[in-house]
Amino acid sequence: MAKNKIGLKLGLVILTAFAVVILLLGWTTNRMFTNFYTAEMRTEAEELTAHFAAMSESPELMSEEALLTFADFSNVRVLYVSRQGQIVAHSGPDEALDPMLVKSEELAPLFAGGKMEREYTDAKGERYYLAARAVLNKTGEPGQTAVYVLSSTRHMDESIAAVRRVLALAGAGAFLLALGITWIIAIRVSSPLLAMQAATRSMAAGDLETRLAVHGKDEMGALAESINHLAIGLQRYRDSRQEFFANISHELRTPIAYLEGYAEVLRKGLYESEAERDAYLDIVHEEAVRLQRLVDDLFELAKMEEGKISLSLEWIDLAELAQSAVQKIKLKADEKRLTLQTKLNSQVPLLYGDGLRMEQVLLNLLENAVRYTEKGSILVELDERPEYAFMAVEDTGIGIPEAELSNIFERFYRVEKSRSRQHGGTGLGLPLAKKLVELQGGQLLVFSQPGRGTRFEIRWAPERGEEQP
């Protein structure tokens, strides 16, 4: 427990709460019993005082001596006090009387028809409850004497002391029980937290395979599950980063090797004709362009991931944008004898977005379609459904295996690695396109069947175009 600081703190808080509750309950119970016994003694003393006063008013019923004897049997002391404050008769031994028992300032109110009650402690430390009232004469007026009744509080004090002992024992037992419960609660609550602390430290040290056991569906279990998800995300990020750097190294190494090799050939004049030299120069130029495109794509992707890319938003006529993109890609399609088709619904609402970025996305999709289609046609479609509007690029190319569809938007991912050099892509076009579409509130989806072609579809909510200029 000494090393378990959070368990110790939690245990102290719970134990303090238990202690406060136990003390409050003990104090309340003690006051309740004390007040009960005090009230009972007061009532009993007042009743006896009234009883003795009533009997003293009728001497024919019982003599004074008999009354005093009766008082001895009642476990009380009875005193008859004159108006001058002198004790004229009393029960019990003479030596036990305290001359200061009767206070002169109490006599006038007492013989005026009032009552008096108070606590009294004798010279030996014995506590009594004292009640007094005047004895009435035959006319109903206060006579010449008053009855003082002293009732010992010993029995009451013993009862209260017994109650306090029981409360102390019960409190001690409750405290020990609370201590055990607190220890169990502190261990049960703090143990998962300590495990989470150890797991997060392991993750910080690089051990991202660390996982926590999830127990229960409460907040602690949810926290453990969140930490596991964090570890999975960090592991995926680390693996992706490592793969990213490996891919960058590979992608940069290839054009740099070409540039270095053919530059060396040209520098040393290792060619036999001007045509061969021009071919080498064309290769150097192509690899330089490839390298430039790779750097530009990386820079663009990094800006988007950091949220630093800026969009020039305006109302876009997607039908006009699609026609422009088709014209730009027509030359490449004609070189491969591919048919370009358009199916554009001019009633599709305008899109509030960045026209240049949307054209960049469409051109990327069209270039991919041309690159991976050897024969057939490419269709550009613009239309709307009740739920969404869409723009699609569909080809009759080689298609994408179903197992690969979930990966094609990852950086540097290629379905056919062996053909990457032949087709000349950087592996960043689709990730860039997807992020650009999402930045403008849309979705980029892909549907494909191997050997039958691929369809990329950009969707956006039609209400984005309702507030048109």
pLDDT attached to residue 458: 93
131, 147 Cβ separation under 8 angstroms: no
What's the pLDDT tens digit per position in 88-147? Answer: 777 766 655 676 778 878 888 888 878 888 888 877 777 888 888 888 877 778 878 888
Structure token pair of residue 329: 């890609």
Residues 6+ apart with CB under 8 A from 161: none
Cα 84 from Cα 93, distance rounded (Å): 22
Cα 148 from Cα 161, distance rounded (Å): 27
Burial 434-451 (b: 16+ CB within 10 A, else e): bbbbeebebebebebeee
In a 13 Å sphere around the CA of 427, the CA atoms on its Cβ side amount to 22
pLDDT attached to residue 467: 47
User: Whole-prediction pTM value?
Assistant: 0.47
pLDDT attached to residue 393: 94
pLDDT attached to residue 109: 84
What's the pLDDT tens digit per position in 262-302? Answer: 888 888 888 888 888 888 888 888 888 878 877 777 777 77
Residue 389 in 3-state DSSP? Answer: strand
CA distances from 90 to 67, 77, 110, 154 (A): 10, 7, 18, 21
Structure token pair of residue 415: 């379905």
pLDDT attached to residue 410: 75
CA distances from 467 to 60, 315, 351, 385, 462 (A): 114, 10, 10, 18, 10
Domains of the chain: 5-158 (3.30.450.20), 219-305 (1.10.287.130), 313-465 (3.30.565.10)
**Residue ranges in the chain whose pLDDT is less than 50:** 1-2, 61-62, 417-424, 464-468
pLDDT attached to residue 463: 53
